[in-house]
Structure 1
């Protein structure tokens, strides 16, 4: 069984509650969305078809327990579910970064799903699968990438309406070089939100480029 893989690399996790952890990233090719702030458009196409067993062999070379399957949109390849299961079976601590336009309910329950809920200014609000919020586990996380003050207010209100923070951790992230992290921190503090504010550590360390 093969998946189209754009890159497999070893880096520092730059986001989520796993931030700072040495992690192997398996980036799958392809995505059905076109967010205005996308920083991985290079993964919309290209890559190589690789057997899942060979993906696991490559991951093992790096000698770390943390693996993140990302994209693009990894769930756009249906056989991604087999990769997630096999990684869990191999004893890895696995997270999945998904854009929220595809049903997460079939994902192996051992996987920590990082669900990116699309905001109005992302340009992809219409593609949110809202039922995904009903499938969240305490080990999952919901991420809002915020393009503006208006996006922040929208996410704040959604947080309250759906009681998301009662289900799992919530991440508020400013769009790199567009929303001031200081401003976002002050908004979160003023509203006393039960969220983790995050910046993208890997971009602070290495800038915007593939393989980090």
Structure 2
């Protein structure tokens, strides 16, 4: 396996999502994604980027003196050498998570990595590209995320959480699409339904707006 990856950006910021929200984190954003979700906020990572050796990537990560690393995209699991990066990071003692859109198998990811699995809703337009066995591969050290476009998406996700008892497998996050669903509406629906999930907004957008490098 070649030891290089196509990288859009590597930067140091605060984690804006997941249970690590607010934690200083080094982000490694890989280039390319086979999905085209209608609400995607990182379409700039679909193309371009720069091919870098894993040695060079590791050197950049170390330069930030931060132990928490998030590998994201694009779709990071679409580049197979990413598994070499996972191993290198974990072997050096980094606390590693990967944010995946769910279209690639997650069962081959290093078990020391926390897998943030995005389950595609009808509103995403990409349900047909979801690798559904991923749901059964989730463990307690992972997290499940639903990005919700509207009330219909919420009801679909709510019913799936309840029917499959997803909250018993891993923490479940409901996140509203920035432009189409008011966070207060989502919060009220979750409270009314007594749903065992975490409502989450994207902290980095509140702090810095929607732009690369945050």
Report the aligned-residue RMSD: 0.6
3-state secondary structure, aligned to 2:88 = helix
Aligned equivalents of 1:191 and 1:81: distance in 2?
A: 39
Q: How far does the alpha carbon of each residue in 1:162-209 deviate from its partner, in whole angstroms, 9 at most, with x for none?
A: 111000000000001210000000000000111011000000000000
1:146 correspondence with 2:159: no
1:115 alignment partner in structure 2: 117
TM-score (normalizing by structure 2): 0.98
3-state secondary structure, aligned to 1:37 = coil
3-state secondary structure, aligned to 1:33 = coil
| Structure 2 residue ranges without an equivalent (≥5) | none
1:134 alignment partner in structure 2: 136
Q: What is the CA-CA distance between 1:85 and the residue it aligns to?
A: 1.2
TM-score (normalizing by structure 1): 0.99
Aligned equivalents of 1:119 and 1:33: distance in 2?
A: 13
1:98 alignment partner in structure 2: 100
2:73 alignment partner in structure 1: 71
Question: How many pairs does the alignment contain?
Answer: 212
Aligned equivalents of 2:88 and 2:193: distance in 1?
A: 42
Aligned equivalents of 2:164 and 2:105: distance in 1?
A: 18
Aligned equivalents of 1:135 and 1:82: distance in 2?
A: 20
1:190 correspondence with 2:192: yes
Q: How far does the alpha carbon of each residue in 1:79-126 deviate from its partner, in whole angstroms, 9 at most, with x for none?
A: 111111111111100000000011000000000000000100110011
1:162 alignment partner in structure 2: 164
Aligned equivalents of 1:105 and 1:161: distance in 2?
A: 23
Aligned equivalents of 1:80 and 1:193: distance in 2?
A: 35
1:209 alignment partner in structure 2: 211
Deviates more, 1:183-192 or 1:160-169: 160-169
Deviates more, 1:125-134 or 1:183-192: 125-134
1:60 alignment partner in structure 2: 62
Q: Which runs of 4+ in 1 moved over 2 A?
A: none
3-state secondary structure, aligned to 1:94 = strand
Aligned equivalents of 1:60 and 1:178: distance in 2?
A: 38
3-state secondary structure, aligned to 1:143 = strand
